[in-house]
Chains A and B, each alone.
Chain A
């Protein structure tokens, strides 16, 4: 009788063992090149800086306490603000775009999605340089606005917070559109009609039916834009001035310019904490929104 049990359960046991082995190379890779360096950075964040930029292995909270300094607080707050603003603008721009793509004829959808992703075919650094040219004092943006008579004098665009947010929105908009597209595509159009038939105005249809039912996509898109935005480094470095520094620039500055690795590590971990908090919110939202959606 026990043998009967074994023979019934053994195939699945063997299968799960096999998949364990298949996962081993990946796990090893992650452990070696992700987990170990991460632990190293974590350890360094509690060490202190040597006189010539080396690491002195003495445990201290000093790095984290240093971050309470108003200057760092300002950079942190600025990063949060730019990332939030970027996410909000991406949502406002991305939702109608995703909606139109998801509701366009089926044969056009892959083409439109491809067009959304087309910028990724070019190097991000090159594209950011292109923005520098466009936002310059005598760049494309200013010339266009002058020609249209909207402004009398060229605007100071480059090396301002505006330029940073423009660059971030440009860079991460596709990350907003793709999850939103998936969510809207799954939304049954008849539900929109039903709400409209039940006296809902267009705005009420959007807030009461479309938004709740596409919430996983909205949260997913926001997270996907927010995370790279807050840690962004190239965009504020090239498009922003000294006043629009973000956490990414701070980390780079601490590691490479000041050679204060312990402080840089501490900043990295604070950034990670923010990102993890954001992801936590995402999973909370996604799991609460999944219930009714799965039942459809």
Chain B
């Protein structure tokens, strides 16, 4: 899916001795191959049999709440920690026991970790210097990296004299100047304010594509992960729950946790009922709500407890009972939250369920809190999860 040849602008970078030592492999082999790694802290497995592969040129994000073990995974790829079990392969070579300075990866730290006693260009040149790249080549490559992150003219500044966004760019340039097999990003944009963060998401993505970088990014920010990544892995309690493209993971979450973590999930607990035509009835646990048809896999046993979930943007509201065949539930508007480009509605469904619906732009219907509404969705949009 992604191009496998480096872009022309990066072809002039010299291959480092560290990277060159990898044998030439067919282009189909993954750049990173993580095989069932386990990392224990005492008796608790912080990382529990995690496996994934990252292809060359891919932007891969590990998404999860704090404490999910995602930073541990990143540190094992970088070489600061070794897994208790499993293997970490980079360009086909096992990295077990290989210290960070001998791995062809570079990490962009969450706090940037810029050297305060060195200037911007000295910071960026650090990795090349350590690998004894000839001086003239260093200057040229540092310039190239700085122009890529738009920091030309700030070479002589110390990190303390830069803004947060500029420091972030230096950190990025310091990693990508080495042309590593993989750039590791640890919550790369977490320290930036909202506006800068959104601008940097776009920019980071375009730099990654322009330079053909392979990136593994750790983040707890689902929107950021979805916008920048080719693929996302959702991690929770040390395990990887789902790996897929942002669209796959968002639209077809495999577990309730994934569904909740990737966005708002309007839910109803209940149990499955009898089969009607191509659908199966779902009876909410709240007996004020009528049963409605859902899509399930073939042969689901009636009576099985389940949770049904729907994304807010799949919900349609109307003040009169719609005549179409789609499932319908009644609700009452509880709160109207105007957020500029869209309006969020919190709707009480049944006794205790508060759902979210969204209306954007000119289509904004004028509902006020207290209004009764009919909620409607396409049969195929609802998902059923079993515990």
- A246-296, CB < 8 A from B: 289, 291-296
Contacting A200 at CB < 8 Å: which of B101, B105, B111? B101
What separation, in Å, do the CA atoms of A194 and B75 have in the docked complex? 12
Query: Across the interface, do B99 and A196 meet the contact criterion of CB distance under 8 Å?
Result: yes
Query: Across the interface, do A201 and B101 meet the contact criterion of CB distance under 8 Å?
Result: yes
Residues of B contacting A201 with CB < 8 Å?
101, 130
B385 at interface, CB cutoff 8 A: no
> Knowing A199-B101, A296-B116 touch, does A291 contact B158 (C-beta < 8 A)?
yes
Contacting B116 at CB < 8 Å: which of A196, A197, A208, A292? A292
Residues of B contacting A197 with CB < 8 Å?
78-80, 100-101, 105-107
Nearest opposing residue in chain B for A189, CB measure? B113
What separation, in Å, do the CA atoms of A195 and B100 have in the docked complex? 9
What separation, in Å, do the CA atoms of A191 and B101 have in the docked complex? 14
What separation, in Å, do the CA atoms of A293 and B100 have in the docked complex? 26
Query: Across the interface, do A191 and B158 meet the contact criterion of CB distance under 8 Å?
Result: no
Residues of A contacting B79 with CB < 8 Å?
197
B127 at interface, CB cutoff 8 A: yes
Nearest opposing residue in chain B for A289, CB measure? B117
B52 at interface, CB cutoff 8 A: no
Contacting B100 at CB < 8 Å: which of A191, A196, A209, A294? A196
What separation, in Å, do the CA atoms of A291 and B178 have in the docked complex? 28
Query: Across the interface, do A199 and B18 meet the contact criterion of CB distance under 8 Å?
Result: yes
> Knowing A212-B117, A213-B117, A295-B158 touch, does A198 contact B106 (C-beta < 8 A)?
yes
What separation, in Å, do the CA atoms of A195 and B113 have in the docked complex? 9
- Shortest beta-carbon distance, B127 to chain A, in Å? 4
- B76-124, CB < 8 A from A: 78-80, 99-102, 105-107, 109, 111, 113-117
Residues of B contacting A213 with CB < 8 Å?
115-117
A193 at interface, CB cutoff 8 A: yes
A188 at interface, CB cutoff 8 A: yes
Residues of A contacting B111 with CB < 8 Å?
188, 190
What separation, in Å, do the CA atoms of A159 and B159 have in the docked complex? 53
Residues of B contacting A200 with CB < 8 Å?
101, 126, 130
Nearest opposing residue in chain B for A193, CB measure? B80
The interface on chain B, measured as residues whose beta carbon lies within 8 A of the other chain's beta carbons, has a size of: 28
B190 at interface, CB cutoff 8 A: no
What separation, in Å, do the CA atoms of A260 and B113 have in the docked complex? 60
Nearest opposing residue in chain A for B171, CB measure? A194
Query: Across the interface, do A199 and B158 meet the contact criterion of CB distance under 8 Å?
Result: no
Query: Across the interface, do B178 and A198 meet the contact criterion of CB distance under 8 Å?
Result: yes
Residues of A contacting B113 with CB < 8 Å?
188, 190-191, 193-194
Q: Mark B197-218, 1 if CB is under 8 A from A, else 0.
A: 0000000000000000000000
What separation, in Å, do the CA atoms of A292 and B120 have in the docked complex? 12
Query: Across the interface, do B127 and A292 meet the contact criterion of CB distance under 8 Å?
Result: no
B161 at interface, CB cutoff 8 A: yes
- Shortest beta-carbon distance, A186 to chain B, in Å? 11
Residues of A contacting B191 with CB < 8 Å?
none
> Knowing A190-B109, A292-B160 touch, does A196 contact B117 (C-beta < 8 A)?
no
Query: Across the interface, do B126 and A198 meet the contact criterion of CB distance under 8 Å?
Result: yes
B321 at interface, CB cutoff 8 A: no
A204 at interface, CB cutoff 8 A: yes
- Among A200, A291, A293, A294, max chain B CB count under 10 A is at A200
What separation, in Å, do the CA atoms of A293 and B127 have in the docked complex? 22
> Knowing A193-B80, A292-B158 touch, does A198 contact B116 (C-beta < 8 A)?
no
Query: Across the interface, do B130 and A204 meet the contact criterion of CB distance under 8 Å?
Result: yes
What separation, in Å, do the CA atoms of A199 and B174 have in the docked complex? 12
Residues of A contacting B102 with CB < 8 Å?
199
Nearest opposing residue in chain A for B104, CB measure? A199
B247 at interface, CB cutoff 8 A: no
- Shortest beta-carbon distance, B178 to chain A, in Å? 7
What separation, in Å, do the CA atoms of A191 and B111 have in the docked complex? 10
Query: Across the interface, do B116 and A293 meet the contact criterion of CB distance under 8 Å?
Result: yes
- Shortest beta-carbon distance, B305 to chain A, in Å? 46
Q: Mark B119-138, 1 if CB is under 8 A from A, else 0.
A: 00000001100110000000
Residues of B contacting A294 with CB < 8 Å?
160
Contacting A191 at CB < 8 Å: which of B80, B115, B131? B115
- Among B105, B107, B158, max chain A CB count under 10 A is at B107
- B44-76, CB < 8 A from A: none
Query: Across the interface, do B109 and A295 meet the contact criterion of CB distance under 8 Å?
Result: no
Residues of B contacting A212 with CB < 8 Å?
117
Q: Could you list which residues of chain A lie within 8 angstroms of chain B, going by C-beta atoms?
A: 188, 190-191, 193-201, 204, 208-209, 212-213, 289, 291-296
Q: Could you list which residues of chain B lie within 8 angstroms of chain A, going by C-beta atoms?
A: 18, 78-80, 99-102, 105-107, 109, 111, 113-117, 126-127, 130-131, 158-161, 174, 178
Jot down 13 A-B pairs with beta carbons below 8 A, ordered by A.
A188-B111, A191-B113, A194-B113, A195-B115, A197-B80, A197-B101, A201-B101, A201-B130, A208-B130, A292-B159, A294-B160, A295-B160, A296-B116
- 18 more contacts with CB within 8 A, not counting A194-B113, A292-B117, are A190-B111, A191-B115, A193-B107, A193-B109, A194-B107, A196-B80, A196-B99, A197-B79, A197-B101, A198-B174, A199-B101, A199-B102, A199-B131, A200-B126, A212-B117, A213-B115, A289-B117, A292-B159
